[in-house]
Chain A
Amino acid sequence: MLHLLGSEKQLCGGLRRRELLQIGGIGALGLCQGRSRAWGADGVRPGIGFSGSQAGIGRAKACIFVFLFGSPPQHETFDPKPFAPREIQGELGAIDTVVPGLRICEGLPGIARVADRLTVVRSMTHEYPIHCCAYVMTGMPVYSIPLETAPRDPQQWPFLGSVIDYLDAQSVSSSPALPRNIGLPWKFCSRGTSKTQAGPYAAFPGDGYDPFWTEFSGTGTRAVPKLNAETQTETIFDPHAGIDRAGRFELASGCELPAEMSRARFDARMHLLRSYDRARPYLESVAEGGRWTSQQERAFSLIGSRRIRDALDVQKETLVVRDRYGMTLFGQSFPASAELSAPSFRSKFFSVDRGSGRAGPAGRDAGDLHERARSDSAD
């Protein structure tokens, strides 16, 4: 039963009673049903396409979104200030790039050599000096600290990859055989000690548009100090500092067939499942039923797919190329991402995050630089 008064319960659309009342009127009673219709084939299509002068700028087939969670300093990356006082410029100097006049931090010599292919923006700015991942990767207008650890809060907006996944889904009739929205190396903030962070989630289009996360299997090869406030008594082997060459990205564990399950047996079970589904036509009639079915289809297609496994398999890349990217968790994410964004691949979006391998109060993340930088960033 739907209580309009006296209940804090959330409704299926993530609305609270107050919001429902604000919308008001008998029309609100149709909200749940209306929402599920909106995502269906007969629902209202969002406005897609360009307006006026921007027509025709669509030139990207895919987007690799490299998110350096933890925030590196601009000084030690793309905006060095070699003429500033020492306590501002830090210990790392600036180097020339192949673009005349463009100097970047000396810690990035490889990027300096390819700077002629990049656009560097030094004027990014917003008003929230907190780890507001969700704010910078979604359209949400305002942010607050409690939202940082509340990825499913109704105030959250969908992140870039989920928006693309959703919009693309409106223009094709069947769900893709392979996910369009993939996150490496593992579910955002799922390892390490920091709390779950809001950010790369689908929000209101529904969690069926969340990124499809890979998992990393491999071991760290370099001991790095765990920077405690007092003394450095502990070392950890952080895969961000180095991994052995056998390290690989895999589908999340639920997508792997157990060893004792042959393909033939799996197919037989699928056949059985389909016969059950045919006997349950009401499934499609209940809210969310369609979503369940499409997610189920997607999950099963992944189980049978060699293609995504091959794309993720960095072992297929030559060692020369892999070494050039760096034998670290972060470095090895790139050959995999490049493969997934190849024109023949339908996938459109990847997120490469720092991996949340944070070791402690000041563990390694994108806010920290390598050992030379005594100007390590604060937590």
Chain B
Amino acid sequence: MCPEQTPQPQTTRRHAIEIFLGGGLLASLASFLYPVLRYFVPPAVVDLGGDEVVAAKLGDLKPNSGKIFRFGSRPGLLILNSDGAYRALSATCTHLGCTVQYRPDLREIWCACHNGTYDLNGRNVSGPPPRPLDVFDVHVRGDEIVVNRKREA
């Protein structure tokens, strides 16, 4: 080692090594962490439900009652009014996602979790729900009650 040599080049050399070592360490850390982070995210589930489902058979429901049916991976609510008309709506409360039910005594849709109510058109009437329920199309085909997602206009 030459005593007259200034320490300058040595520190830069050390500095460069530190950058390479540190960068390499960070890069390997990132290469460990990236797959783990991606692993956390569950793969998307393909919803095989489609846009149409048979919710019930004619005669399954008494007038002024409701029934939960399966619409893809989510629940739907089919209601038979006291005047004999069918209605179908999403049964997932817009507040915190509980499953709502038809209350024959109130003639309203009610969520037991936080006491939210909707009218038969799905409009949020009282309680915490921030938005109306999605309304589906219903029609009778043979003896089956068929529910469709509304087509976007």
Tell whether A pairs with B.
no
Residues of A that sit less than 8 Å from B by CB: none
Instruction: Give me the interface of B with A, judged by CB distance under 8 Å.
Output: none
